[in-house]
């Protein structure tokens, strides 16, 4: 082996890496970025799970009980409501994961050592978050009641083992059996329907490599027209997959669809334009297929798994990760998909997420058109 030849090849590759910004980013930054992404996603603990409280008792005792429930970082009191209708609205919008209903006789029953019924409503659209909230509420409620009754038990000669006054009545909305498939399958649909974003980035890179982009660059077609025109075939194929994935979810996995399919179909189209626009930005800057594929996986695929709330609740993520998650089209579409399948809410609830997707579509397309040059790089 010739050391001169070896050094010549090594020097050539080093120059290539530093000249190609895409390759430089992939080689130099990808391992660090993936480590940070996977560490934040996989090591995440449930924290700040939002709950609501309907307090019919409205006494000092019930207020102390509520303070005990939300102490620490596990549960956050999102809102104290005045009716079951408000709880229904918060659950439909996904603002809370559980709700506690305190009976009007709570303080009197506690002082008289009677059975103390506390009703807990769990959001079944995210079983992990619902089960965590249920576990925290039951343990903290039991600890509070036990501490308050400790003196009365001693005076009456009753052991804590003999006295079990707390009666939790749990109701799970939308997914009574807490089946993981009901939650997971709609989330995965939002992930797989975003994969065409990777394809369009590869398409642009392939055309650059093979020189076929030159003919398009010589035409009078505008930059935005060229980019949107390239998106449309992928949107059409994606919409066909909306029918296929819905059929599989309904008949194979037995996941209910409770929403308006027409609205879901339209919002799916908006999502596809948004995620394809993101892929188009990658294709504008990256010139090789290998680099385009790797960067697409880093920007579209991996965040789709870990940051869109499919497997890990967004509310439990650090603030920086939540900000990054909200910049991804898949985050908003995962909410839309789950809501369409599980809760059946309409545009009156989903409009903020639809508006976010529309803004991303326009914004990402505008950026791609701005940086796209009608000449070969």
**pLDDT computed for residue 237 by the predictor:** 82
Mean pLDDT value of segment 190-204: 79
Collect all residues with Cβ–Cβ distance below 8 Å to 326 and sequence separation of at least 6.
332, 356
pLDDT in tens, 235-268: 888 888 888 888 888 888 888 899 999 999 999 9
- Quote the CA–CA distance of 83 and 275 in Å, as a whole number: 39
pLDDT in tens, 139-153: 888 888 777 776 555
Query: Which of 102-116, 185-199, 271-285, 325-339 is the least confident region?
Result: 102-116
Q: Any idea where the domains of the chain sit in the sequence?
A: 49-173, 180-371
Collect all residues with Cβ–Cβ distance below 8 Å to 296 and sequence separation of at least 6.
197, 198, 201, 202, 279, 282
pLDDT in tens, 307-324: 888 777 777 777 777 888
pLDDT in tens, 269-296: 999 889 988 888 887 777 777 777 777 8
Q: Nearest-CA neighbor of 101 among 66, 128, 49?
A: 66
**pLDDT computed for residue 375 by the predictor:** 45
**pLDDT computed for residue 288 by the predictor:** 77
Q: Are 272 and 278 in contact (CB under 8 A)?
A: no
- Quote the CA–CA distance of 70 and 51 in Å, as a whole number: 9
* In this structure, CATH architecture of domain 49-173: 3-Layer(aba) Sandwich (3.40)
Q: What is the SS3 assignment for the chain?
A: CCHHHHHHHHHHHHHHHHHCHHHHHHHHCHHHHHHHHHHHHHCCCCCCEEEEEEECCCCHHHHHHHHHHCCCCCEEEEEEECCHHHHHHHHHHCCCCEEEEECCCHHHHHHCCCCEEEEEEEECCCHHHHHHHHHHHHHHHHHHHHHHHHHHHHHHCCCCCCCCCEEEEEEEECCCCCCHHHHHHHHHHHHHCCCHHHHHHHHHHHHHHHCCHHHHHCCCCCHHHHHHHHHHHHHHHHHHHHHHHHHHHHHHCCCCCCCCHHHHHHHHHHHHHHHHHHHHHHHHHCCCHHHHHHHHHHHHHHHHHHCCCCCCCHHHCCHHHHHHHHCCHHHHHHHHHHHHHHHCCCHHHHHHHHHHHHHHHHHHHHHHHHHCCCCCC
Reading the block at residue 318, the tokens are: 């650090």
pLDDT in tens, 330-367: 999 999 998 999 888 889 889 999 999 999 999 988 88
**pLDDT computed for residue 322 by the predictor:** 82
**pLDDT computed for residue 368 by the predictor:** 82
Reading the block at residue 355, the tokens are: 């508006």
Q: Nearest-CA neighbor of 172 among 219, 225, 127?
A: 127
**pLDDT computed for residue 321 by the predictor:** 79
């Amino acid at each position: 082996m010739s050391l001169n030849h070896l050094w010549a090849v090594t020097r050539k590759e080093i120059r290539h890496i530093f000249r190609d910004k895409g390759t430089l980013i992939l080689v130099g930054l990808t391992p660090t970025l993936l480590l940070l992404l996977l560490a934040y996603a996989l090591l995440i603990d449930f924290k700040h799970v939002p709950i609501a409280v309907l307090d019919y008792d409205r006494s000092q005792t019930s207020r102390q009980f509520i303070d005990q429930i939300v102490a620490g970082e596990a549960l956050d009191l999102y809102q104290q409501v005045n009716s079951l209708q408000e709880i229904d609205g918060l659950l439909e919008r996904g603002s809370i994961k559980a709700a506690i209903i305190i009976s009007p006789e709570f303080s009197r029953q506690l002082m008289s050592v009677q059975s103390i019924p506390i009703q807990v409503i769990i959001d079944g659209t995210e079983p992990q978050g619902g089960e965590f909230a249920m576990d925290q509420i039951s343990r903290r409620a039991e600890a509070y009641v036990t501490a308050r009754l400790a003196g009365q038990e001693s005076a009456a000669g009753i052991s804590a083992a003999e006295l079990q006054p707390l009666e939790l009545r749990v109701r799970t909305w939308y997914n009574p059996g807490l089946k993981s498939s009901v939650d997971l399958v709609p989330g995965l649909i939002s992930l797989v329907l975003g994969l065409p974003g990777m394809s369009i980035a590869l398409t642009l890179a392939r055309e650059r490599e093979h020189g076929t982009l030159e003919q398009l660059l010589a035409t009078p077609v505008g930059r935005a027209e060229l980019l949107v025109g390239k998106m449309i075939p992928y949107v059409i194929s994606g919409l066909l997959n909306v029918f296929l994935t819905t059929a599989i979810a309904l008949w194979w996995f037995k996941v209910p669809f409770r929403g308006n399919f027409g609205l879901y179909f339209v919002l799916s189209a908006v999502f596809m334009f948004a995620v394809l626009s993101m892929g188009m930005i990658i294709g504008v800057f990256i010139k090789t297929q290998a680099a385009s594929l790797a960067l697409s996986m880093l920007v579209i695929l991996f965040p789709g798994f870990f940051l869109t709330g499919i497997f890990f609740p967004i509310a439990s993520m650090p603030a920086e990760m939540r900000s990054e998650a909200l910049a991804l089209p898949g985050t908003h579409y995962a909410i839309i998909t789950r809501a369409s399948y599980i809760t059946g809410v309409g545009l009156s609830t989903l409009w903020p997420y639809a508006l976010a997707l529309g803004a991303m579509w326009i914004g990402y397309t505008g950026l791609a058109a701005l940086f796209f040059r009608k000449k070969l790089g």
